[in-house]
Structure 1
Amino acid sequence: MKNNKNIFRTLFIFCYLLAAWPLFAANQVQGIRIWPSPDNTRVVFDLKEAAEHNSFSLDKPDRLVIDLRDTSGGSQLPNITGESALIKAIRSSGDNNSMRIVLDLSKNSQANVFTLPPTAPYGHRLVVDLPDKLPEQFIPPPAIRAARDIIIAIDAGHGGEDPGSIGPSGYYEKNITLPLAKRLLALINAQAGMKAMLVRTNDYYVHVNRRTEIARGQQADLLISIHADAFTSPQPRGASVWVLSLRRATTEVGRMLEQTERHSELLGGVAEIIKDSANERYLAQTVLDLSMNHSMTTAHQVANQVLQELEKVAYLHKSKPQAASLGVLKSPDIPSILVEVGFISNPQEEKQLRSANHQHKLAQAMFKAVKRHFEQAPPADSLFALHRARQHKVSAGESLSVLAQRYQVSVADLRQHNQLSNDSIRVGQVLRIP
């Protein structure tokens, strides 16, 4: 009799576990994060396991429906962090075997739903990208270029769902690059004749292809992408500067030539002359090659200047510009550099990179280098070029009165403008002409 009771108890437990098995085996939604940006909203569902999903859109009203198989769920969702004007609500229903998630949208959006494998600090994720046309208030002006201003596009690496590299203390690369970019922005905007714009202005993700497009849309004279390096061991340290490799540049030029609808954007006014791109492809090729050569030469010059200044405030990992096929450096028509300000994987440098004082020094170094480059080689239509043209290097036999007559200014103005105590000048001296 006792054996029968044991057998019965064992069968009961087995049947109970069998009935409850879906509950134990099911996937679970553990968190929901919303990352808004000016032209896209990303929703990330943190999951216990890899997701098996289907999705479809509905209208009147606009909704995105996601069905998760083998996922326990109901009307209760975990806490949601972040918000977006595009998402009115996120709700769910289901049982122990499946879960339906509905995103109520304020407007139609062609959603892209995909999964991501675990990458520290995140586990399995289901990602929903919801493109959004720029609202009126977020549309940048056709160009923020004031008359003769030099435009610098500053790209803070990573952002949003992409934290970048992670330091020994758990600090994210994205939390270094954006504050540093904002410091550089302030320094450049305080300089007459220069304007800066941020590729991303807050903690959201911008696809690498969009970064160069944003810079091009603002007619940038230079793109600076700021990152922090990392390695599998803590020993490597120091800053480095990267430029576009010739192989990548050549590939991008070929790709641009195929995109005939973008020739006016890439070739500027020359595109009005090159009407038939099929018959005059060689001319378009020549123009883009010249643009590429100019951009790569400029990038190398700026990179060398930046390294010279960084060496004064930081240890250098590489003392010369490094060439690479990095996505953010892919634009052959915009001079572009990527600055690795140090190794976040090095405990000492991670601590240093988090320091506001050190970030200020790094921003100052980059600003001084960029300013010096454009003072020495300003774009022809810039305020810097105008100022450079109003300088004179004194030659033998020249006097202050002779120069005043030549430039049609008074001797007193010439003296005051150059802070001269008398009329004496020396050969080789550079005078600024008022």
Structure 2
Amino acid sequence: MSGNNSGLSRRRLLQGAGAMWLMSVSPVGLAAAARVVAVRVWPASTYTRVTVESNHVLKYRQFALSNPERVVVDLEGVNLNSVLKGMGGQIRADDPFIKSARVGQFDPQTVRMVFELKQNVKPQLFALAPVAGFKERLVMDLYPANATDVQDPLLALLEDYNKGDLERQVPPAQSGPQPGKAGRDRPIVIMLDPGHGGEDSGAVGKYRTREKDVVLQIARRLRALIDKEGNMKAYMTRNEDVFIPLKVRVAKAQKQRADLFVSIHADAFTSRQPSGSSVFALSTKGATSTAAKYLAQTQNASDLIGGVSKSGDRYVDHTMFDMVQSLTIADSLKFGKAVLEKMGNINNLHKNRVEQAALRY
């Protein structure tokens, strides 16, 4: 009996040791299986984003080097492949932050990415879970070193938006509008919001036409028409291929004291049959139709696709202000009806009424 107990104890001890050994090496095993499937670089005047996409969560380490200024990112449990080798070729000459990039197998378990910089930066790294066809993503955003808020440097840059940083076409003399009655004491300020951008391409057409490009061109043309009016002034939430979180777009509009916020989209649908135009306003009670519900679902996923760092969550409430107040929604419905009537003269309409969707701006 004692012999059997002794054998059983030894077996349990060996089983326990085996379990402990598996637990200790399983993170390494998972990391070793990670394979990088895509690397994308999105330069913009506000910040540059580097995205590394892989089939498993990436374990990483980031640090800085000087003389010259560099940002180094080590990817553990990764082997160098053709995707990573091609990263340097994605750096554009007009990138305001990255001068060059190189990548190599630092040791058998580590791939090292080195980014030589054009200016001092504040890097921000975070991971994104799989969504909308994307696998695991490691995101590195490079912000200018003069960003005043380390936790959310993109929102901190709102202090400079009046200078036209995201537009690059607004002269300094035309900084933010002054208080007063719109149209009488000051121009009516309209914030044009071309949807998506950067990592978030929006809908993709049959011939690979991307929504983010189409709506940007529409917004630019619309701004030119608005600015020809003597009592109106248009601004844009973005004027380049850059991802701007939804709530930062709204915050910029509020910073400019915008009287009207117009978001422009060229949406896809579950069927290729529908064609035409729709006008939507915010809703606090949900969607008014299946199409409105579909729109809300796709647009509210934009931040997940584009990639938002969770560090900025404390700003969420501050960017809402009066966007969902009943008076604001009533005015939006009134204006939307006028727009719908004009659009009906030049295009098919999906609905003869302004629809509403619970968009989380």
Fold agreement, TM-score > 0.5? yes
| Secondary structure of the structure 1 residue equivalent to 2:52 | strand
Partner of 1:80: 90
| Secondary structure of the structure 2 residue equivalent to 1:233 | coil
Alignment CA distance shift 1:235-1:100 (3 Å): same
**1:144: Cα distance to partner?**
4.6
Distance 2:128 2:276 in 1: 35
| Secondary structure of the structure 2 residue equivalent to 1:228 | coil
| Secondary structure of the structure 2 residue equivalent to 1:109 | strand
Distance 1:65 1:52 in 2: 15
Distance 2:285 2:72 in 1: 43
Q: What letter is aligned with 2:261?
A: L
Partner of 2:138: 126
Alignment CA distance shift 1:310-1:258 (3 Å): closer
**1:258: Cα distance to partner?**
7.3
Partner of 2:342: 309
Partner of 1:98: 110
Identity %: 31
Alignment CA distance shift 1:213-1:77 (3 Å): same
1:64 maps onto 2:79 in alignment: no
Alignment CA distance shift 1:76-1:234 (3 Å): closer
Alignment CA distance shift 1:127-1:294 (3 Å): same
Alignment CA distance shift 1:98-1:256 (3 Å): closer
**1:29: Cα distance to partner?**
4.6
Contact 1:150 1:193 in 2 (8 A): yes
Alignment CA distance shift 1:258-1:304 (3 Å): closer
Distance 1:232 1:160 in 2: 24
Normalized against structure 1, the TM-score is what? 0.54
Q: What letter is aligned with 1:112?
A: L
Contact 1:118 1:125 in 2 (8 A): no
1:200 maps onto 2:212 in alignment: no
Alignment CA distance shift 1:294-1:42 (3 Å): same
CA RMSD of aligned residues (A): 3.5
Distance 1:185 1:239 in 2: 19
Normalized against structure 2, the TM-score is what? 0.64
**1:247: Cα distance to partner?**
4.8
Alignment CA distance shift 1:87-1:81 (3 Å): closer
Q: Which runs of 5+ in 1 are unaligned?
A: 1-21, 249-254, 267-287, 331-434
Distance 2:332 2:194 in 1: 18
| Secondary structure of the structure 1 residue equivalent to 2:121 | coil
The equivalent position to 2:212 in structure 1, one of 164, 169, 174, is: 174
Q: Which runs of 5+ in 2 are unaligned?
A: 1-28, 148-156, 287-313
Alignment CA distance shift 1:38-1:292 (3 Å): farther
Partner of 2:283: 245
Larger Rg: 1
Alignment CA distance shift 1:54-1:257 (3 Å): closer
Distance 2:66 2:264 in 1: 44
Alignment CA distance shift 1:170-1:184 (3 Å): same
**1:232: Cα distance to partner?**
2.2
Distance 2:245 2:129 in 1: 15
**1:215: Cα distance to partner?**
0.9
Partner of 2:56: 50
Distance 2:164 2:41 in 1: 19
**1:87: Cα distance to partner?**
1.9
Contact 1:155 1:198 in 2 (8 A): yes
| Secondary structure of the structure 1 residue equivalent to 2:73 | strand
- Count of aligned pairs: 271
Distance 2:62 2:186 in 1: 50
